[in-house]
Amino acid sequence: MLSTIRWGLTSMADCHVSFVIPVLNSEKLLTDCLRSIRRQDAPHITYEILIADGGSHDRSVAVAQEYGCRVLVATGLMAEAAKQMAFREARGEYIALLDADNEIAGTDWLRVAPAALERHPDALGFESYYVKHPRHTHLNCYLTGCLQISDPYARFLAGRVRLETREPDGTEVFELPADGSYPTGANGFIFHRHLLEKLPSIHGYHEAVFFPQLIRTGFRKLLKNPTCGVHHHYVTTWGDYFRKRQRAMVIYMLRREETPAAWDAGGRGGRQWLALAWFGTVLGPLLAGTWEAIRQHDPDWLLHPLAGAVSTMGNSLGILRYKLGTDRARRIALTQALHNKMNPPT
């Protein structure tokens, strides 16, 4: 069940970083993800890679074993529950969260990110920038490199962070909004494992709940560095983006069955209706996208109005499909079916 090779480790106590990666039929992307970890230039940092497999029918497990990962059987579990399983197995002082569609950009990430956290033990964590990749479509470049959040609707709702200082090595120290209205905790996010002691026992781990709760209790420092980014191979086609938004909204509604206190808790109601009205006008997002395209010299921003419309339709259909589901098991099965449609087993 477990493959226990750990790159650079001489004992269980030596581990600095535990990479946690949930997978489900992720063979096509997983190799690049794992290769990007292996090529990090950080000889003094020891690490392990934990793969929580949700029941893949392709070669995901075989690829993970080829790279010496610990493979945890998480059949039938959703990604966040699979991560929580991996947390219990992790030995690292720091937990690094990646998805199979992430690829660490460059070779300095594993050296810079943990060092920044060591200097700031009171930080919520270290967040990676999304970096465009030559093989990305214009849509993926816009969703990741431009938005830095993968969804224009969520970007509209999210609170803003304030840059406090920039350190000599380029590390940026941000202040997070006190109401926790900033979604973070995935795709190249690394944090100190002792924060897991604050995970409420009344419900499972949800990144969109756990990290905002920590922000509200005082962990308002976020670290970033322009040299530390990930390529997020999120979507290729508009059809996949439409399905992604449906799936994300079903997962969002499933999460609300357990706890309502997600990152957007303060923005429900008035601000959500404002977001719907904004993207419904088309003209507003068109002007905003055009302005950003000119200001940043980046034509990918011109996709902003269309992406907003597709996101709104996908989110709405996701809520409808959730409500049409007769029970939680069927709704979870729907998320897996949408995932498999975008990532068919080979």
**pLDDT one-digit tens code per residue, 286-301:** 999 999 999 999 999 9
Instruction: With beta carbons less than 8 A apart as the criterion, state whether 80 and 20 touch.
Output: no
Q: Give the model confidence (pLDDT) of 3-32 as tens digits.
A: 333 444 434 458 999 999 999 999 999 999
The domain locations on the chain are 101-342
In the predicted model, what is the mean pLDDT of the chain?
91
- At 258 the three-state DSSP class reads helix
DSSP designation for 161: P
- pLDDT band with cut points at 50, 70 and 90 for residue 227: very high
Burial per residue of 171-190, b for 16 or more beta-carbon CB atoms within 10 angstroms, e otherwise: bbbbebbeebbbbbbbbbbb
- pLDDT band with cut points at 50, 70 and 90 for residue 126: very high
Which CA distances in Å does 325 have to 78, 247, 258, 319, 338? 17, 13, 17, 10, 14
**Could you tell me the pTM of the whole model?**
0.92
Output the pLDDT for position 339.
87
Separation CA 186–CA 50 (nearest Å)? 15
Q: Looking at residues 223-236, what average pLDDT do you find?
A: 98
Q: Give the model confidence (pLDDT) of 58-83 as tens digits.
A: 999 999 999 999 999 999 899 999 99
Output the pLDDT for position 264.
83
Output the pLDDT for position 2.
33
Separation CA 317–CA 188 (nearest Å)? 29
Which CA distances in Å does 101 have to 50, 209, 319, 335? 15, 22, 25, 17
Q: Give the model confidence (pLDDT) of 189-214 as tens digits.
A: 999 999 999 987 656 788 999 999 99
Output the pLDDT for position 120.
98
Separation CA 171–CA 129 (nearest Å)? 12
Q: Give the model confidence (pLDDT) of 305-326 as tens digits.
A: 999 999 999 999 999 999 998 8
